[in-house]
Every structure is written in structure tokens, then in C-alpha cells.
Amino acid sequence: MQEVPRPIPAPGGVLVRTTHSVISVGTEKMKVEQAKMNLLQKVRARPDQVRRVLDTARNLGWRAALEKVRNRLETPTPLGYSAAGVVAEVDPANSRFRLGDRVACAGAECAFHAEYLALPDLLVASVPDGVENWQAAYTTLCAIALHAVRQSETGVGDRVLVMGQGLIGLLVTSFLKAAGARVMAVDLMPSRRPLCQAMGADKTVILGEQDLSDEARVWTEGFGVDAALICTATQSNTPMEQAAEVVRDRGRFVIVGNTRADLAWKTFYEKELEVRYSRSYGPGRYDPGYEWAGNDYPIGYVRWTEQRNFQACLELMARGQINLAALTTRRVRFADALTVYQELMKEGTQDVGVVLEYETSSGPLPVAASSAQPRVTAGERQTTDYRRPTHPVSRLDVIGAGNFARTMLLPHLKGQIAFGVVVNQTALSAKHVKDKFGFAKAATDANEILGREGVREPQASGQPGPGVIQQAEALLIATRHSLHAQLVKRALAGHRHIFVEKPLCLSPEELAAIDEAHAKSQGTVMVGFNRRFAPASVELKRILESAPGPKSASFRVMPGKLDPQHWYANPAESGGRVLGEACHFLDYFCFLFDSRPVRLLAQTTWAATGRLPFPDGVTAQIEFADGSCGQLVYSGEGDAGFPKEMLTVYGVGMVAELTNFQRLTLHRGRRKKSFACQSKGHREEMAAWAAFLRGQEKHPFPYEKSRVSMSLTFAVLESIQQARAVEV
């Protein structure tokens, strides 16, 4: 258990003060057991992750791959996904909830065992009168069971087998009974028999004491059960084999638990059995557009979304049709949770439903900080980008401390500058980063650091104006892309020295607003185009300077197919791959040629339809003012064994090839010379910025240069949209 900063409401969502949460014994026990595995055991348990590590090592090298693995393994993961409480804060964009509303909370990404929860709108449901909060805390678990029953398409009078009578299995039994089905409950533990009966099972079979095949033959008059719901969690295929034997011809399987499911061809073919999986709480699960952006599905097309399943479960609770009291084996204080988990890990535990109860008298909530932008002082902007700060920067704050920042940025800044406040949306992660890197404070609200100005040096007598910033502060921004522009503008208003991960912003309008804020500020902006700082890049540019005249460069990038579940697949957050990632390589052309882009022609490499209705790949040809030409092929298609990034540059009397920033090969005078490199520039980029903050060097990458790269990126999108060449 850790003390972490209080979260803030999700966009369009609410902050909930938790009163109760339920431990999902099976799922959470499995997560704790996996966390205790040694590295070899983890490798055996997750071969899919091993393949990802090998791909990373191939492209970035073993040292970077090992560091990424270590960061993942040491990052704490919160437990819990089903809770209830009282609304404590409401985001201005939310219209469904008010302060003091009782609500049920869902989501493995947000409904943790914690005193405060920040949740998006569609993962919260109002608790009706007649339902106590401890009961409402079961809502997520009930929705999992309800969706499984819907997947079975059970009708009144159907005979259904429920294999496994843990918490979810018992709830499935209850919902089947409410739907008018006859239920045979099956488990290994004799102690589950009374629970099965309390939840409405017509027949209970305890394996080891009774023969399932014989019991089912008698119970179904030899026909077999109409459907089987597999609620076990095991690496043994025995539950599937036993159930297949007793399911009738053309019956249905629904797999609910994380269980092995090898289908015996002869049995499943001859009976023509149908197999379905039940995915969590229902339609909308794992869809960020639904869960986090609040885009509900029309009821005429999707009758039972996860939100509507929550509501149905709460209504059944209100009518007394779910016997949650029978399931609840313990109600304990949240402060005693560690003891509970220790007991759950012991062999032979009898617990089924464990409810954690939180203190209800937590005192008044603090007044939320204003989200209004701080007042901007007008005045003539000084070009601090091109000179050293008047005084060394006093401290660095960070907004957004995900795995990228923890792996690629912060390790290279630690010890170079004093760390102040780290802000992260997830409180546990903020606390973890604070402890790991030695920040003075962890927080979840960016308002704690935005709006502060540096210390001003008084103007000389008779001189008008606000004075020069004597002691400035720095800010590193590594949030999701949609937040970059607003955070940069507010930080510039406080005259900060800013490092923001690419992209700088998501639209030309946002870029214009940053231009205006930059002109009024004494702060600086550096965008995280790290590849221009890589040792291979420095050597390549030195080589190109010895070749006269314009150059041509071809950059081929193959990042792999975009997972539709990844946040990059939500353009509202990422801007899409072209804007969020291809900007790296467009900037690289600007760096390589040191010339102004003038016009370009671009097209997509894959139709923007189907599951990814936006450009996922791009080809572009860019003309530069000095006659140089850059060609970019950025494609999610290809073979994982091929290098991720390959650059070829043609100049007078020479050809240079750069592969994954690990090997630079120069062809000149019919000879070939190769250089080995190890870095994509993150270390060097952070070192250069830190030297600037200490007042030792000029700004390594002035804003005026980075905005050219962003303008070029927006021009690429314009060319795609208008299907024509455009001027930059």
C-alpha cells in the first residue's frame, strides 16, 4: 500500500471517493502470483512478450531492450477493477453526474482499490435506491457474468452447464436462473455446494465425488445440456473435455475464464459445436473511443453495451434478484487489505467475495485549482533560444511520466538538474517515478506547477517593463499528444524553458497559438526530435558537408501494424501515426539538408477505411530550397525481420546508408567504410538541453527550427487530403 497523489477527473468524467471495492479473488490472485515469478518463469508464461523484446533488441540493441524490460518489470501495477463510491468532483464536460451521487465504478485501468478514483463517463453508473454501496461495488463483476449469459443466448427452460463456481461462475449461475434456465453447477470444492444452491443451481456436481457424465445423462434424459459456460482458470484442458462430452448435438460453448481450450476435432466436429468467447463486460470494452472518449453505441445497433449491462445489473440488485450476501464471505477495512491478500495466497482459501470498506469521513475536498490560463505579460520577446540563460535554471518539473519518459529521457537528466514535481494521470505511477528519480513531489494535477513564473530581476531605474527573468524553471512534457499544445502555451506564459516530446501540436491553429505565446514569452521551446542528435546523425552530416551541391535522401520506415487498441489508433489523442510519428523523419530531412522545404506531394500507403479509418502510412516527396529532395516511405506493412528504419543519401561522389541508427556505411571512391553506433539520440539530446539549462551552451534546437518541421508535417496531411502537391 502506498500514499499517492489524488487523481483528477478524467476528461468528461468524474472523481469518485471510494466507499467499497471488491477483490476479484481469481483474477487478482493470478496477477499477484505472476508478479512473484522470476524472470525465467515470466518468459515461459508470456512467450508473446518475449517476441516483442526480441524485435526491440533487433532494432534498438540489447542494452535498450534490457532497459525497457527492467522498467516494465519494476513498474508497480494497481489491483482492482470493481468498486462503488460517491462523486467528489465532476469534469465540466460531464452532464450525467453531480456531486454526492452514488455510483458504481468499473475498469481495470481506473477502478482500483484506492480511496479516490478518476473515471471516464461510460465506466460509471448511477446506483438506484434500494442498493447499498457494498452491493454496487460488485457491478463490474456482475456485468462480466451477465455478458457471458448473453453470449450463450440461453432461453427459458434451457439446461445449462456452468463449469467452475468461483465468484464469476456463481454470478453466471444466478443470472442464468434469473433468465429462466435450469442450471447444473460444477466445481472441485465441496464447500461450494451451499453457495451454488444459494445462487439458484438446480443441480450441483462436485468432481471427485460424482461422475459428471453420468449426472448430466440422468439430468438431461440422455440428450445433453444445451450450453456450457466455462468459468474456470486453468492451464489444463480437462474442463473443456469434460464439458464437450455432456453438451448436446449442436450445443454452444462460451469461454469466460482464462482457461486452456484445445478443441478435440472429432468431438467438436461430430457434434458441430459452436464456441464463443465472452469479452469482459460487453460491447465497448477495450474500445478507447467508447470508454475514454465517451462515444456511445446507438441502442438500435448495440442493445447491450457495457454501460447498459452495468445498469441492468444494478436494477436486478434493486429487485433483490442477485443474492450478493451469500457470495460475500468477508467485509474488511481497506487498511487491512495486505493481510487479506496474504491469506488469499494460501492453499485452501475459502474466500469467494471479499469487500473492502473505506473510511467515509475523509473531510472536505480541497477547492479544485482553476483551469483558466494564467495572465500573459505583454512585451517584446527576447530570443533566448539563441543564447544562454541569464542564470542557471533552478529546477525541472515533469508532466507525463510514462515508460518512454522513464526509459529514454529522465535517466539522462538525473543528476544534471534538480527535479521538482512530477505529474502523472495515474497516482501510483507518479509516486513510483518520484521515488525512483528523486523528485521533490508527486502529483496528478498539472495546475500544481503551471502558472508559476520564475524570479524577476528588477528593471533599472526609469526603465519600463516587467524585468528579465532572473531564475527560470524548466518543464518536460511527455503526455499524450492532444495535451501538448495547451501545456506548452501555459508553460510559456510562465516563462518556462520547455522540452516537449514530438509532435509539438496537432493542428496549424494550435501552432499559430504557440507562435503567439512564444513571441510574448522569455521562455524557450525544444521539441523532442531526438534522431538529429544521434551520433550517427552528427557523423553523417559532417560527411555530407564535404559533398557539394544538393542531395537526395530516401528514408524507409516500417514500424509494424498499428494495434487498433493502442492509444495511437485514437486520432483525437495521438493525431494519428502520420502526425505523431512520421514528423520525426520529416524533421530529419530538414536537419540533414539544413534548407527550407518549399513544396511536396504525399499519399497514403493503405486505405483509410475499416478498423483504422485514418492514414496509417504515408509516402511523401519533399523539395527543398537548395534543390535537395527527401523521399519518405512510412508503412505499417512488411516483415518484422527487416530493419525498422533505413536511410540512403545520395551526394556528389558518395552514397551513405544508415540502418536503425546502429550502423552507418559510406560508399566513396569505390570503397566502403562502416561505423557502428548505439544511440538514437535521446541521451545526447538530453545532455545538450541540460547544458543549455545550466547556462553552459546555446539552445541546441531553437523553436524556430522545430516549427518548420511541424509546418512540413501539416503540409503532408494537406496534400493527402487534397490529393495534390502543396506549397509549404
Q: What percent of the chain has pLDDT over 90?
A: 73
Residue whose C-alpha is closest to residue 250's, from 231, 279, 223:
223
- Residue 322 backbone class (left: φ over 0; alpha: ψ -120 to 50; beta: rest): beta
Per-residue cell: 626: 537548395
pLDDT score of 133 more than 80: yes
Going from N- to C-terminal start, the domains of the chain cover 14-138+288-357, 144-277, 389-528, 531-683+702-727
Tens digit of each residue's pLDDT (9 = 90 or more) over 25-82: 888 888 888 888 877 777 777 777 788 888 888 887 888 888 888 888 888 889 999 9
pLDDT score of 607 more than 70: no
Average pLDDT, integer, range 91-109: 92
pLDDT of residue 31: 85
* Residue found by looking up cell 533487433 in the block: 58
Q: How far is CA 699 from the centre of its chain?
A: 32
pLDDT band at 565 (very low <50, low <70, confident <90, very high): confident
pLDDT score of 364 more than 50: no
pTM beyond 0.85: the answer is no
pLDDT of residue 25: 87
pLDDT of residue 614: 62
pLDDT of residue 361: 44
pLDDT of residue 369: 33
pLDDT band at 373 (very low <50, low <70, confident <90, very high): very low
CATH superfamily of the 144-277 domain: NAD(P)-binding Rossmann-like Domain (3.40.50.720)
Phi, psi torsion values for 595, nearest 5 degrees: -140, 160
- The whole-angstrom separation of Cα 649 and Cα 668 is 12
pLDDT of residue 466: 53
Average pLDDT, integer, range 533-545: 95
Pairing of strands 524-528, 497-501: parallel
pLDDT band at 467 (very low <50, low <70, confident <90, very high): low
Q: Which ranges of 449-527 would DSSP assign to H, the alpha helix?
A: 484-493, 508-519
List the CATH code of the domain at 14-138+288-357: 3.90.180.10
pLDDT score of 629 more than 60: yes
Residue whose C-alpha is closest to residue 400's, from 486, 484, 518, 472:
484
pLDDT of residue 640: 85
Q: Which CATH architecture has domain 389-528?
A: 3-Layer(aba) Sandwich (3.40)
SS3 460: coil
Q: What residues contact residue 347 under an 8 Å CB cut-off, 6+ apart?
A: none
Dihedral angle of Cα 237, 243, 246, 247, to the nearest 10 degrees = -120
pLDDT band at 611 (very low <50, low <70, confident <90, very high): low
pLDDT score of 367 more than 70: no
Tens digit of each residue's pLDDT (9 = 90 or more) over 507-523: 999 999 999 999 999 99
Topology alike, domains 144-277 and 531-683+702-727: no
Average pLDDT, integer, range 185-210: 95
Q: Which ranges of 447-566 would DSSP assign to H, the alpha helix?
A: 484-493, 508-519, 535-545
Tens digit of each residue's pLDDT (9 = 90 or more) over 390-445: 788 989 999 999 999 999 999 999 999 999 999 998 899 999 999 999 999 999 99
pLDDT band at 471 (very low <50, low <70, confident <90, very high): low
pLDDT band at 370 (very low <50, low <70, confident <90, very high): very low
pLDDT score of 593 more than 50: yes
pLDDT score of 381 more than 70: no
- The whole-angstrom separation of Cα 102 and Cα 83 is 11
pLDDT of residue 35: 82
pLDDT of residue 378: 28
Tens digit of each residue's pLDDT (9 = 90 or more) over 687-709: 999 999 999 999 999 999 999 99
Average pLDDT, the chain: 89
pLDDT score of 376 more than 60: no
Asked whether 622 and 714 are in contact (CB, 8 A), the reply is: no
pLDDT of residue 54: 84
Tens digit of each residue's pLDDT (9 = 90 or more) over 272-324: 999 999 999 999 999 988 999 899 999 999 999 999 999 999 999 999 999 99
CATH superfamily of the 531-683+702-727 domain: Dihydrodipicolinate Reductase; domain 2 (3.30.360.10)
pLDDT score of 470 more than 70: no
Q: Which ranges of 36-153 would DSSP assign to H, the alpha helix?
A: 39-45, 47-60, 62-74, 133-136, 139-152
pLDDT score of 663 more than 70: yes
- The whole-angstrom separation of Cα 175 and Cα 197 is 13
pLDDT score of 205 more than 90: yes
